Structure 1
Amino acid sequence: MAAHQSTEWRTVCEKFRLAQELSEIESRKDPENNPFRSKYKARDLLKEIHCSLVKIHIEEEEEGEDDNEADGGSMQIAEGEPGNECGKTCTGDSPAGLRAARLAVLQYYLGVNHIETEELSAGEQHLMNCMKLIDKCTTTRENVSLFIQARNQLGILWAGRDEIEKAQGFLEIAESMYLLYMKEDGQPPLDLQDYFVSEGEELSQQEKIRRFEMAYTHTLYYLAQVYKNLEQYERSGQYCHSTLQRQLEYKQFVPLEWAINAATLSQYYITKTRYMEARHCLAAASVIATLAGEIPSEAAAKESDAECEKREELLQKRAEIARCWIKYCLNLMQDAKKLLEDNIGELDLDRQEELKRARQNEEEEKEKGRKSAILFGSSDTFDSICSLEEKISSMLPLDFEEARSIFLVGQSYVAQAKEYFAMDGHVTDHIEILQDHSALFKVLAFFEQDLERRCKMHKRRVDLLEPICKDLNAQYYLLICRQLQFELAESYYEMMDLKLAVADKQDQPDVHTIKKFNNLCSSSMKYYQMFLDSIRSPEGKFPEKLEDEVLRPALVAKFRVARLQSKLISNNLATQLENLNHSLESYSFIVQYCEENPEAKKAVETELELSNEMVSLLPLKINRIRSNMASCN
């Protein structure tokens, strides 16, 4: 290249560097009323570079023609005009290929620039121009990164337009290009910025590798979103996991963002009962979140807006991770309960022993085989992640002690989550955390064989939820109020059943026991009735046809109220008669509703069967009491 061209080339490179700086750094400082100021300046520079480049390439071609003539015409220039010089046989390192690649890089950056300034059609056009310039070239070390990044951008563009399958096509080609290149070559490829640097300013091999791997990580990340939108959840989970692994490996992550993504992935694994993977994601999330630094004190937050913002973000994200841990503990225990319960919902001791024997032989080997594929971390964080994993099992608990150890971990995360999601300012989140805490007590009670201790666990549920339920305004939080009312009714109902089981073991329950039992029945009925009343119209009328979301809860509430009314203990025959009449009325409501609405039968098959029995039996019992009352008179 001639001297004047060298000077011109240095000017081109300087303009390119400035355009990158404007786009990536200065744009962050742009005012709200002119948010794209730096992007527009960068665009103007890129256009100037394009004009200079075409001029330089024309001069290079002319020099090439002169040299060719001097050599007797032995050299043939690839066909094409400036800006579209890439012929079918060119390679990335040929003169024609290099010219095409440089112009393609400019088209790429112009495309990205237009997309970032919300001019999507123009952005698409530039990216397609980039593709046309290089698509006929052989994939080489010089252009593979550009091939992948152009397709990444087009994938994002089409995904943003909800053309998911079109986005999938671009991204899957980018993925296959990377895999093929790594198989056939694997050397550090040229980075996009390498096309516009003066001699001696090239990127290091290590930096080239980092940038290339970052481009491929982005491919995997976008594919994860695409597969999620296509409801291919298994593939999406795999790509999310690979993305997170690579981000750590190549140190391409923002700690809090990475931690939240890992914690979110854990929730997918939970739905698939893959608790080892879920635990690993959560342990990594907790460890990586600490890399974001210490939480500023309240005093520091009051003195500085930046410190206040940092404190808020750190507290929130760590509380969100704590909530994911709560879900892990709760689901692990609930899945164990499903596996261990008999047909009436009690612990099946034979099944428990069978599963314990099977686990000794199988579970540990199975875990070893899967572990190597899911590991996160570097030498700096790996030990911390493993240490945190050791504090909680990833295997289903099979007895009370195992369940209790998981419960205690879950309870500690409840305390952490409540620190940020306080009732003042985070009503819905705070109540959801309390509901999860209540659910932890409920499932722990399943593993407890001592009836009195089980009863106390349900009492803890009441203590958690009852104050909130009393204070909450049903006008603004109707759905939450209904959930709390039903759960409180259920908690008292469980306690009533347990007290009944204890009383059955006694020859004759004392007055205190009877009073306690009746109070539990009344409390349960009160909350079931509150739930049922919430379904009534403003005029107080119960709906003739129940909405799908309240159908089963409403009929179950009616069924349990009927049972509770029949269980109330009284020595007074008139009171007994009144209670049984109320019970018969509630059972009859269920039977009549299902006759009038046959589609409801499936929702309450067991309750309907028992209600039909009681509608037949209760009148006999009522008549006997009436006879006794008549004889007494």
Structure 2
Amino acid sequence: MQMSKEFAVDLGEKYNKVLKLLEDSKFDPPNEPYASKCAAKEILIDMKAKLENTSNNQFSSSSELLKIKAMLGSVYLYLGMTSIEMEELSEGENSLQNCHDTIRDFFNNPRRQLDSGDYDPIDWALNAATLSQFFMEKNGFKQARHHLAASSYIMDEYKEKLFSVSERNEEFDAKVEVFKHRSADIARCWAKYGLVLLSKSKERLLNHTDDISENCSLSADLSKMTLNPDANVSLEELQNLEFTSPKLGHYEKQITDKFVLIMQDAKLVFLNIQGWLQKAESYYTLETLASDHIEIVQDQSNMYFGLLFFEDNVDNQAKLHKRRIDLLENVIQQINPKYYLQYCRQIWFELGQIYSDILNIKCDKLREIEGRPSPHMLAKINHLTEKSIYSFTCFVESFKSDQEEEFVTQIPADFEKAVMQAYFHIGALNNKYITLNKKTQLANIEMSYKAYKKVVDYCKLNEKVIEQMPMEHNICKEMVTLLPVKMAKLAQELH
């Protein structure tokens, strides 16, 4: 017996409807939070019954049975996840266990869709690109690049077929839109590969400052890693994480799969990231898909940050920081904090750090100058100080309600450390203003004292925060003791 075409088409349509309902579930009204999930669950139950009935029949080939088992496993998986999200935990657990039992005998069967041609190109490419994210987080850059290369290969092959048709209608336009959308997503996955490679390379160098070639055994290839005795995967399995049919060399050679050591290599990675993010940005515009656009701008800032570690020239470091400022200042001026508060908070904090980093570079250069510094240089230092304080202040004040003049007594747990660090920076920055006016000096010290005291007072009421930032807390306590003496001395001189 063979699975009929009508049966497969019916299941495919139901599956797509389930995905659409689950995607739309985030828009369900508060009084019916599970409306879409309930509808999706009903369809899944119907699919389950049909597949279970079909799996009991005899098929002409083992591949037919494998398809049925794979589809049934997917249905059980979605049933389990949906039930758990609807707080039906016992039912969800049973469905997930059924998923495990259904596919258990096929765990070690090789991922052969490319050879059979039985796959949707867009879904396959997106799944391969998504899987690469797992590999790169485990330092498997060889495997991650290979899967991304396969993803791009399939997308290019699909593009050629898509645009070879002569009839251009609504269906064609819809397919082109999906292709552009998913191409942008895959470009973002490539960019993430480059960002993680720079980050992991930096981490590796920092952890092995002495003769890295002899003392570092960390590999960028999962098949060469040392496994723990109790590992549930073998080296043989890790060595087989490659596709045999497509020729991927053209796609793989555009970026290295080795850890970066010097600026020249880092710059090549940087240029690739830049190109991929530009491609993604052309689809995810601020006017149409603002959240994704903001995240792409943040990735652009991160690509300059990743390059910074490999740049020895302090003037060039300042220029890289300036590029980050231009990107972030531009986007934050165009978005409304009321609707994008989460992103605004991230950007305000990052801008505060960037301005502070440039300020430190300028202060170091100031100390190297023999004789009197130029007024322009002093003005630049004060300007950077002001901008950094402003950014950190925007961040902390975003946690106040409209009615509050003073700061709230309890900050959301996820932000406690960041808010206290922001106040710590504000305290330190107010001491970096350069002025000969004693009245201005006194005002700056008073602002510094207030910021440090915010940290001390909050930590008295929420002692667990001290564990997250012990050094900063100790400095704040010390400054709260010392600064009143300094303020009293200045006040006496003014009097």
TM-score (norm 1): 0.63
Distance 1:596 1:164 in 2: 43
Instruction: Rate the CA distance shift 1:142–1:23 in 2: closer, same or farther, 3 A.
Output: closer
Q: Hey, what's the Cα distance between the residues in 2 that align with 1:295 and 1:157? A: 31
> Which residue in 1 is equivalent to 2:243?
376
- Following superposition, the deviation at residue 357 of structure 1 comes to 4.9
SS in 2 for 1:567: coil
Q: Which runs of 5+ in 1 are unaligned?
A: 1-15, 31-114, 135-140, 176-219, 221-237, 343-350
Structure 2 residue aligned with 1:123:
50
2:384 partner amino acid: L
Deviation, 1:388, is 2.3
Q: Give the counterpart letter for 2:332 in structure 1.
A: C
From 525, 528, 540, give the equivalent of 2:392: 528
Which residue is 2:176 aligned to? Answer: 311
After superposition, give the CA deviation of every residue in 1:258-285 in whole Å (9 maximum; x if it has no partner).
Answer: 1111100001112212111111111111
- Which residue of the partner structure matches residue 65 of structure 1? none
Deviation at 1:144, TM superposition (A): 5.4
Q: Match for residue 211 of structure 1?
A: none
1:269 and 2:135 are equivalent in the alignment: yes
Deviations 1:454-505 (A, max 9, x none): 0111110111111211121111111111112111122111111111122121
**Contact 1:295–1:311 (CA<8 Å) still a contact in 2?**
no
Instruction: Answer yes or no: is 1:449 the counterpart of 2:312.
Output: yes
Q: What is the alpha-carbon distance in structure 1 between the residues aligned to residue 306 and residue 412 of structure 2? A: 29
Alpha-carbon distance in structure 2 between the residues aligned to 1:582 and 1:361:
47
Identify the residue that residue 169 of structure 1 maps to in structure 2: 101
The 1:358/1:283 distance shift into structure 2, 3 A limit, reads farther
Q: Do the aligned residues in 2 keep the contact of 1:337 with 1:446 (CA within 8 Å)?
A: yes
Instruction: Pick one of 398, 414, 428 that aligns with 2:291.
Output: 428
Contact 1:451 1:502 in 2 (8 A): no
d(CA) in 2 for partners of 1:158, 1:28? 15
Please give the per-residue CA displacement for 1:232-289, whole angstroms capped at 9, x wherever unaligned: xxxxxx88xx42xx11233333322211111000011122121111111111111121
The residue number in structure 1 matching 2:34 is: none
Query: Alpha carbons of 1:120 and 1:29: their partners in 2 closer, same or farther (altered >3 Å)?
Result: closer
Written as runs of structure 1 = structure 2, the 5 A alignment for 1:77-92 is: none
Deviation at 1:29, TM superposition (A): 10
CA deviation after TM superposition for structure 1 residue 620, in Å: 3.5
Judging changes above 3 Å, is the alpha-carbon distance between structure 1 residues 283 and 145 closer, same or farther for their aligned structure 2 residues? closer
Return 388-397 or 363-372, whichever deviates more.
363-372
In the superposition, relative to structure 1, how do residues 262 and 361 fare at CA in structure 2: closer, same or farther (>3 Å)?
closer
CA distance in 1, matches of 2:450, 2:218: 55
Contact 1:486 1:528 in 2 (8 A): yes
Letter in 1 for 2:296: I
Match in the other structure for 2:382 = 518
| 1:355 match | 212
Does 2:199 match 1:334?
yes
What one-letter code is carried by the residue in structure 2 that aligns with 1:322?
Answer: A
Q: Which residue of 2 aligns with 1:485?
A: 348
1:474 to 312, 315, 337: 337
Label 1:356 to 1:454 Cα distance change in 2 as closer, same or farther (>3 A): farther
**Which structure has the bigger radius of gyration?**
1
Residue equivalent to 2:145: 279
Matched, 1:461 2:324: yes
Q: Following TM superposition, by how much is the alpha carbon of 1:27 offset from its aligned partner in structure 2, in angstroms?
A: 9.3
- Shift of the 149–329 alpha-carbon distance from structure 1 to 2, 3 Å rule, reads closer
Contact 2:392 2:422 in 1 (8 A): yes
SS in structure 2 of the partner of residue 566 of structure 1 = coil
The percent identity for this pair of structures is: 27
- The answer on whether the counterparts of 1:256 and 1:317 sit within 8 Å (CA) in structure 2 is yes
Q: Which amino acid aligns with 1:23?
A: F
What is residue 183 of structure 1 aligned with on the other side?
Answer: none
Distance change (3 Å), C-alpha of 1:389 and 1:120: closer
Q: Is the 8 A contact 1:262 1:284 kept in 2?
A: yes
1:627, distance to aligned residue in structure 2 (A): 4.3
Q: Look up the equivalent residue of 1:373 and give its one-letter code.
A: N
What are the residue-to-residue correspondences of 1:192-271 with 2, within 5 Å? 242-243=110-111, 246-271=112-137
Give, as a single letter, the amino acid of the residue that structure 1 aligns with 2:154: I
CA deviation after TM superposition for structure 1 residue 20, in Å: 2.6
**Aligned pairs (5 A) from 1:365-444:** 373-378=240-245, 381-382=246-247, 385-444=248-307
TM-score (norm 2): 0.80
**Aligned twin of 2:427:** 562
Structure 1 position 602 matched with structure 2 position 467:
yes
Deviation at 1:146, TM superposition (A): 6.9
Question: How many Å apart are 1:373 and its aligned residue?
Answer: 2.3
Superposition deviation, residue 150 in structure 1: 5.9
- SS of alignment partner, residue 119 of structure 1: helix
- Structure 1 residue 509 displacement after superposition: 2.3
Change (3 A) 1:451 1:256: same
| Cα contact 1:455–1:495 (8 A) shared by 2 | yes
Whether the 8 Å CA contact 1:284–1:377 is kept in 2: the answer is no
Distance in 2 between the 1:621 and 1:565 partners?
Answer: 14
Corresponding position: 1:540 with 2:404: yes
Q: Deviations over 1:335-364 (max 9, x none)?
A: 22223348xxxxxxxx44521455799879
- 1:291 aligns with one of 143, 152, 157: 157
Which residue is equivalent to 1:159?
A: 77
* Shift in alpha-carbon separation, 1:249–1:358, aligned structure 2, 3 A: farther
Aligned-pair CA distance for 1:391: 2.2
Distance change >3 Å, CA 548–CA 441, structure 1 → 2: same
**Cα distance, 1:377 vs structure 2:** 4.1
- CA displacement, residues 69-106 of structure 1 (integer Å, 9 cap, x when unaligned): xxxxxxxxxxxxxxxxxxxxxxxxxxxxxxxxxxxxxx
Q: Give the number of the structure with larger relative contact order, counting CA–CA contacts within 8 Å between residues 6 or more apart.
A: 2
Residue aligned with 1:471, SS: coil
Measured against aligned partners, the alpha-carbon deviations of 1:23-79 in whole angstroms (never above 9, x if no partner) come to: 34699999xxxxxxxxxxxxxxxxxxxxxxxxxxxxxxxxxxxxxxxxxxxxxxxxx
In structure 2, C-alpha distance between the alignment counterparts of 1:341 and 1:621, rounded to whole Å: 39
Query: Structure 2 vs 1, CA of residues 288 and 602 (structure 1 numbering), >3 Å: closer, same or farther?
Result: same
Query: Is the alpha carbon distance of 1:599 and 1:26 closer, same or farther for their aligned partners in structure 2, counting shifts above 3 Å?
Result: closer
What SS is found at the alignment partner of 2:333? Answer: helix
- Partners of 2:142 and 2:222 within 8 A in 1: no
Offset at 1:560? Answer: 0.5
Distance 1:452 1:583 in 2: 29
- How far does residue 117 in structure 1 lie from its aligned partner after superposition? 9.2
Distance 1:149 1:458, change over 3 A: closer
